[in-house]
Chains A and B, each alone.
Chain A
Amino acid sequence: MATQQYEPPPSSFDDDTRRSRAALVWLFIALFAFGLATTLYSHADALAGLGVIIISPDILINDYVGIGGMGPAFLNSSMCVLVAILLIRQARTTVSGPVIAAIFTIAGFSLFGKNIANIWPGLLGAWLYAHASRRPFGENILVALFGTALAPLASEVAFGLGIPAPLSIAVAFGAGALAGFLLAPIARHVLDFHQGYNLYNIGFAAGFIGTIIMSMLRAFGVPLSEGFHWAECGPMQSLPYLAALFVAMIITGIVTEPRWFEAYRRLLESPGRLVSDFVRYYGLGATLVNMGIMGLLASVIVLLIGGSWNGPVIGGILTITGFAAFGKHPRNALPPMAGAAAMAILSRYGLGSPASQLAVLFASTLAPLAGEYGPAAGLVAGAMHLVLVQVVGGLHGGLNLYNNGFAGGLTAGLLLPVLEWLRQWRRHEV
C-alpha cells in the first residue's frame, strides 16, 4: 500500500468556498439567461411551457425540451438551481466539490424529470430525517440535494395515477417525503457495497427504493403512466452556449489561480474514489479548469456518437461537469465511457438508442474504478454498465431518475471484489 504524497492547494480553502458559491450563482444566471433568450423573452410561452413541465408525469425518460421547449426547460433548471443555492446558504454549508456536483446534477436533471414543483417532497423528507435524528439539516444537505432523484414519484402520484386533485397533491407529498426520509439511511448503507467506486451513490440507493415502490404498485395492480419523450435536437441551439460556458470556466480557473497547472497535474493523478473533493485538495482554479475540460470532452463525445442535443443529453453533460469537481477527470472518466460506447456498438442496443447515449455519458460514474485499477478495468466496467443499465430501469419502472447510478452501483459492487482479488493475486498476496 502506497500513501499519496500531498501538496497543498495553491489557494486558501476559505477563499475557494466563497468563490465557489459565487460561481454557482453565475451558473444560475447562465441557465436563466439561456432559458429566457430561448423563449425569445415571451413570458406567456415560458409560463405555458413551465406549466406543461410541472403537470407531466416524470417517469424516465421525460424530456422537458420535448414537452415544454428548450427555454422553459432551462428556466425550470435555473429555478431548481436557485432553490438548491438558497438551501445550502440557509444550511450554512461549505461549498466545495460535493456541493458543486450536487448543484450541477440538479441543473442537469431539471431538464428531464426534476421540476420546481416535484423536488419539494424529497427535500421535506430529508429535512424530516435530520429533524428526527436530532441533527442539523446541513449534515444531510448532500443527501437532500442528490435525493431529488426520486422526484418523479411525487409527479406520478399527483398527476399520473388518477387520484382526485386535492387528495393527489397530499398523497404525492407524503409519498415523496417518505422516500426522501428513507433515502438518507439507505444511501449511507449502500456505500459499503461499492466502497466509494460508484460516484452516483444516491442513484444506487434510490434504485432500491424505486424498486420497492414499483413492486408494491405492481402487487396492487396500479399501473404507472405511459410516456416516453425524447426530443431529436441538433447541436446548433445549445452547443455554442454550452461550449462558451465551459470555455469561460477554463478561463476563470486560469485567471483566478495562476498556479493552476501544477495543481491540475496532481488532480489528474487522483483515482477519484469517493470522497475526492477537488476544490479542497487541488484548489478552485484547477477544479474549474477540469470542469470546463470535462464539459467540452462530454460535448465532443455526444457529437462523436451522434447524440441528440435534448434535455437528458445536456443534463448528462452538466452532471459530468459537476462531478469534475468531485472525482471525475479525463484520465479516469474516458475508459468507462469508451467501454460503454464499444459495448453499445457490439451489442444489439446500438449507439442510436436513448438509453445507450445516456449510458455512455453516465458510465463515467465508474471513473474511480479506472482511476484505481487502470484503464482496462474502466473499459470492462463501462461495457458491463451499458448492458446492465438497459435492464435495471425495469425494476424501478423509471421512478429513479439516476438509473445509471443504480446500474453503476451494481457494476462497481460486483466488479470490485474481482479486481481486488486480481490485484492481490498479481502481488502474490493470495
Chain B
Amino acid sequence: MKSDAAQLMRVAEEVLKYLYVKGSRAVKVSYDFGDERSFCAVAAKDILLSATDESYLRRVFDGPVQPEVANYYGTLVGRRRDELQMELVGTMAELEDLQNEDGLGVVIVLSRREQEFRSSRH
C-alpha cells in the first residue's frame, strides 16, 4: 500500500472522530485514490456545525501541507481517545470542499497531492 494512501486514511479517521465528537452518529467515509491526487470525503447528514466550528475547520486547513511534519509525526493522528489532532491533520492534507447546510449535513472533502509526496506506486 502506498504510504500516501495510508496517511489519507489516518486523516479521514481523525475527521471522523471530530464529527463524532460534534454529535454525529452516522458518518460516511469514502475515498478516491488517483495517480496524481487522492481524495477522501467525510459526510455526516445528522448534524450541522456551528459557525465557530466551521471557522475552526477552515482555519486548521488554512496553512500549507508540511510534508516534513506529516511524514514524521503523521502516525500520531487517530490514536488518542480523548484528544483531537486536527492541527496535525492540517499539515497532512488540503481542504477541497466544506459544506455545512440544512438537509445536506456536513461534507468535508480533503486531498493529498502525489507530486509532493512521490510515494511508491506499489
**Which chain A residues have a beta carbon within 8 Å of chain B's beta carbons?**
1, 3-8, 13-14, 91, 93-94, 96, 98-99, 134-136, 138-143, 187-189, 191-192, 195-196, 271, 273-277, 280-281, 372, 420, 423
How many A-B residue pairs have C-beta atoms within 8 angstroms? Tell me.
Answer: 98
**Which chain B residues have a beta carbon within 8 Å of chain A's beta carbons?**
18, 21-22, 52-53, 55-56, 59-60, 62-64, 66-73, 75-76, 79-88, 91, 117-120
Residues on the A chain within 8 Å of B75, using CB: 188-189, 191-192
| CB-CB nearest 6 A-B residue pairs | A6-B56, A139-B71, A13-B63, A139-B67, A275-B73, A275-B88
Q: Kindly provide the distance from the CB of A347 to the nearest chain B CB, expressed in whole angstroms.
A: 33
In the complex, which of the residues A1, A14, A94, A99 contacts B84, with contact meaning CB atoms closer than 8 Å?
A1
In the complex, which of the residues B18, B67, B73, B76 contacts A3, with contact meaning CB atoms closer than 8 Å?
B18
Q: Kindly provide the distance from the CB of B19 to the nearest chain A CB, expressed in whole angstroms.
A: 11
Residues on the B chain within 8 Å of A280, using CB: 63, 87, 91
B contacts with A: majority SS? helix
The answer to whether B80 and A195 have CB atoms under 8 Å apart is: yes
Instruction: Determine the distance from Cα of A281 to Cα of B85 in the docked complex, in whole angstroms.
Output: 13
Residues on the B chain within 8 Å of A420, using CB: 81-82
The answer to whether B64 and A94 have CB atoms under 8 Å apart is: yes
In the complex, which of the residues B73, B81, B118 contacts A274, with contact meaning CB atoms closer than 8 Å?
B73
Q: Kindly provide the distance from the CB of B97 to the nearest chain A CB, expressed in whole angstroms.
A: 19
Instruction: Determine the distance from Cα of A94 to Cα of B63 in the docked complex, in whole angstroms.
Output: 11
The answer to whether A142 and B87 have CB atoms under 8 Å apart is: no
The answer to whether A281 and B62 have CB atoms under 8 Å apart is: no
Q: Kindly provide the distance from the CB of B110 to the nearest chain A CB, expressed in whole angstroms.
A: 17
In the complex, which of the residues A8, A13, A195 contacts B76, with contact meaning CB atoms closer than 8 Å?
A195
The answer to whether A6 and B68 have CB atoms under 8 Å apart is: no
Given A195-B76, A280-B91, 10 additional A-B pairs, CB 8 A: A1-B21, A1-B82, A5-B52, A13-B63, A140-B68, A140-B71, A140-B72, A189-B75, A191-B76, A274-B76
Residues on the A chain within 8 Å of B63, using CB: 13, 280
The answer to whether B118 and A134 have CB atoms under 8 Å apart is: yes
Instruction: Determine the distance from Cα of A142 to Cα of B83 in the docked complex, in whole angstroms.
Output: 24
Instruction: Determine the distance from Cα of A293 to Cα of B88 in the docked complex, in whole angstroms.
Output: 26
